[in-house]
Structure 1
């Protein structure tokens, strides 16, 4: 049932995510007239604040994180904000929260960003206070569990109060423009889809590299590691978008039906198809940085780097490896997808001394949003010494190609879709469970074969074993 909510309830309203992403996103949507004049925003968290105190808190966050051209919109936006303190473990507090929300005429949208241990009491409190009615939908920020069993436990708790059509599981990568452009690239251009298969593609690389370390996430990250933190959600979603069959239409059901087919087709990872690592002291951008164990203050076997050679066992992708790698304290910050095409079956130029290189498509997601396609072209000249061919790149910089529209952060799109009820860019339960099932099998492979993190120097591209993982197949990581 689609409806546009006239109240947005933000759990975790004083947290880091709210300060950096949620409040700036909502202020930008308000400034551009994309939300109703009647939309009320109610924040809640454990911190004891009243409306005025929360507006002062929000003002400081917006002054810090909003771009300068947006700052005139701060004062009008603050009038939308209200606040009610809440300890989710105190069931009685939800009655006061419901009173603060007040009567909701058109609908209520809830953004729930909370520790996994608080999901059950929060859902119970929402139900008991009448905040989980038929015109309420709920957005869930990760982490949603640590394995398949805990994920199911959380999803069972949520689904006891909300049907699937009113549950919006958030993966903020799906709100990024370049990720959405991947679908447009594949399904709005006739030249790509006929070649998008094992007959023409040699392999695919997906890299999510970070230069940061723990960054204040010590408690969460050491219990999660790179596999759960990045591969289970962001990277598998990117893989699914690359590998999915064309959906019948661009709507939530059709798109997510095709993604889950890919996730269910992932082959179990073998011992020699995965590498884990943990960074040691090194340098990032010329500045010395400590190792993971030093940042943590103790020894740990948590992986900060993962490389996996994955396979999608279906008709389209049989035999095409998908190389995944992600890590912290790597050489540079970059998220990209590389589609490596096969060489031409026969070069007519070989007899004239020319060498051809396979075409390559690079989709940059962050920090630069761009699409680069390498093509072979003839160098100018009379060719008396032989024909010379050279790779030429066709570069599309998304900010340059679309200079007019404002650049939006992912949460702007996702919050607006939550308010309006469009689930296309949110993750369905069967997707989440398929992702966890595969991730659990990877961890089981690590346990069965006693695979432990290899050390790598901060500022490098990870353990040398990750380079070997690709190079033994004749593949070089794109760097």
Structure 2
């Protein structure tokens, strides 16, 4: 076992004093069975859950214990760990109830108390984590029901909330106020302070709790690697500003449409679903200044400072699109789950953020996201300026690419003399591809990583309330224009399986990006002939 792994286990054990009850609200839903429970099993299998742990599923669906276990384990990849799966099932239970009924929550609390008693958890260590794998429409009533009826009075409480965090600034602020009145951003529980002061634990009448707003992109390996890449390398640190960087693109591409999710997607659209949260979070890590430490609040302070430097996005700096059917694939308006067949909801968007500070003034950050495109890809691409007074005219620009998914990688595109007798300049790369360099290591799912952070009490990779407020201020004016079908808003059609609207190439070119289309370069390099380098 590595020392790093043992350190993480020790942090969880110390923070939760060896005991916790994890309550998954919405346990019968897709998110819980596809993401939450597989992540919890991954943590259990690798020894990251406290020894005295129990997982309680809660939802409106009435089902027996066996049906519950079958549902929440159907997406778990077991491999050779069948025995571990059986152990995991033994620490999982289910309680059904309503989301707006005190009696249901009191029944849940009774079940949890009985479990805590059976597990012999002493006073002061009855920690509870509430994971809300729920639609946003029930966030507030559920949080209120939990606070009134299921709140741990002899331990810590942690509330995990999934996106979307509202629809615009107003709804987000309303949600923040309601949840903030029940669960705090960052405080230590009163019982722990008393313990530190060597007072009796049963003197405590006030217990504080914490909110963890999950944006699962902050749990992805390559997103978590951005800070190490930037601040642990002199080479990158000095080139990371407007002096060297011409433009930055953050791209999200999915090769499939809204199949089966037309109703949900039509309410939110691609900007709310992907850009305002996932891609903007990546932008803050790329653009922020060096924090004074790796403390979670120091990191989040710098992210907020960046967001404060970004003005609301203008419609003139936006390209919107909606996919149409092609090659036998249905268009967005043909989705059977879409009720509004005249919908103008964009399924593709490219927006340009401008950061008005000393480091980034004049550098456009182009955020692109779309469904039904030509490939699956999420990446960050920093394109550098042309070499001044270039001896080798026409040589390609340098680029640093951080491939978030699939095939995690960091690679630097640079120019090199073509090997052999020729003096021609060709484009090549310095390539760190994780699947080959770290073949023996397994990269955990983002949810697994973030739930571990909740247990460790590390807020670094979660969204703070002021951060959320600033993020919505950047996008709300644009979203209101789109929602109102303003005359300035134009939705461009694009074919299913294409790169996006045909206007995309001219759009990114307008902001300085030059797409090199030379046929002599590709990443990753494939089908290399070992004898090609022999004379």
Match of residue 210 from structure 1: 254
Consecutive unaligned residues of structure 2, counting only runs of 5 or more, are: 1-11, 187-209, 518-535
Match of 1:319 among 362, 365, 368: 362
Match of residue 178 from structure 1: 222
- 1:341 and 1:250, CA in 2 relative to 1: closer, same or farther beyond 3 A? same
Q: Give the conservation status (yes or no) of the 8 Å contact 2:322–2:332.
A: yes
1:3-402 map, 5 Å: 3-4=15-16, 6-59=20-73, 61=74, 64-66=75-77, 68-102=79-113, 103=116, 105-131=125-151, 133=153, 135-165=156-186, 166-283=210-327, 288-295=328-335, 296=338, 298-347=341-390, 349-350=391-392, 355-381=394-420, 387-402=423-438
Q: Distance in 1 between matches of 2:58 and 2:30?
A: 14
Q: Distance in 1 between matches of 2:396 and 2:435?
A: 29
**SS of 2:342 mapped into structure 1:** coil
Match of residue 521 from structure 2: none
Question: C-alpha offsets along residues 174-232 of structure 1, whole Å, 9 cap, x if unaligned?
Answer: 10111111111111111001110000000001100111212322232110000111011
Offset of residue 382 of structure 1: 5.1
**SS of 2:305 mapped into structure 1:** helix
Match of 2:503 among 445, 448, 465: 465
**SS of 2:164 mapped into structure 1:** coil
Offset of residue 478 of structure 1: 8.0
Q: Give the conservation status (yes or no) of the 8 Å contact 1:337–1:363.
A: yes
Q: Distance in 2 between matches of 1:72 and 1:465?
A: 55
**SS of 2:225 mapped into structure 1:** helix
Q: Give the conservation status (yes or no) of the 8 Å contact 2:247–2:511.
A: no
Match of residue 441 from structure 1: 477
- 1:477 and 1:462, CA in 2 relative to 1: closer, same or farther beyond 3 A? farther
Q: Distance in 2 between matches of 1:216 and 1:256?
A: 36
Offset of residue 449 of structure 1: 4.5
Greater relative contact order, per chain length (Cα 8 Å cut-off, separation 6+): 1
Mean Cα displacement is larger for which, 324-333 or 130-139? Answer: 130-139
Q: Give the conservation status (yes or no) of the 8 Å contact 1:119–1:157.
A: no
**SS of 2:489 mapped into structure 1:** coil
Q: Distance in 2 between matches of 1:449 and 1:443?
A: 14
Q: Distance in 1 between matches of 2:281 and 2:342?
A: 32
Question: C-alpha offsets along residues 151-178 of structure 1, whole Å, 9 cap, x if unaligned?
Answer: 1111111111111011100000010111
**SS of 2:379 mapped into structure 1:** strand
Offset of residue 130 of structure 1: 4.0
Offset of residue 477 of structure 1: 5.4
- 1:186 and 1:108, CA in 2 relative to 1: closer, same or farther beyond 3 A? same
Mean Cα displacement is larger for which, 451-460 or 330-339? Answer: 451-460
Q: Give the conservation status (yes or no) of the 8 Å contact 2:105–2:150.
A: no
- 1:343 and 1:153, CA in 2 relative to 1: closer, same or farther beyond 3 A? same
**SS of 1:92 mapped into structure 2:** helix
Q: Distance in 2 between matches of 1:25 and 1:117?
A: 24
Question: C-alpha offsets along residues 360-416 of structure 1, whole Å, 9 cap, x if unaligned?
Answer: 111111112111101222223456xxx322222111111222222222110111111
- 1:141 and 1:306, CA in 2 relative to 1: closer, same or farther beyond 3 A? same
Offset of residue 67 of structure 1: 5.1
Q: Give the conservation status (yes or no) of the 8 Å contact 2:69–2:89.
A: yes
Q: Give the conservation status (yes or no) of the 8 Å contact 1:244–1:262.
A: yes
TM-score (norm 1): 0.92
Match of residue 530 from structure 2: none
**SS of 1:3 mapped into structure 2:** helix
Question: C-alpha offsets along residues 265-317 of structure 1, whole Å, 9 cap, x if unaligned?
Answer: 1123233210111111024xxxx210110102522011111011221111100
Q: Distance in 2 between matches of 1:457 and 1:435?
A: 31
- Aligned residue pairs total 465
Offset of residue 142 of structure 1: 0.9
Q: Distance in 1 between matches of 2:301 and 2:177?
A: 21
Consecutive unaligned residues of structure 1, counting only runs of 5 or more, are: none
Offset of residue 474 of structure 1: 4.4
Q: Distance in 2 between matches of 1:34 and 1:261?
A: 34
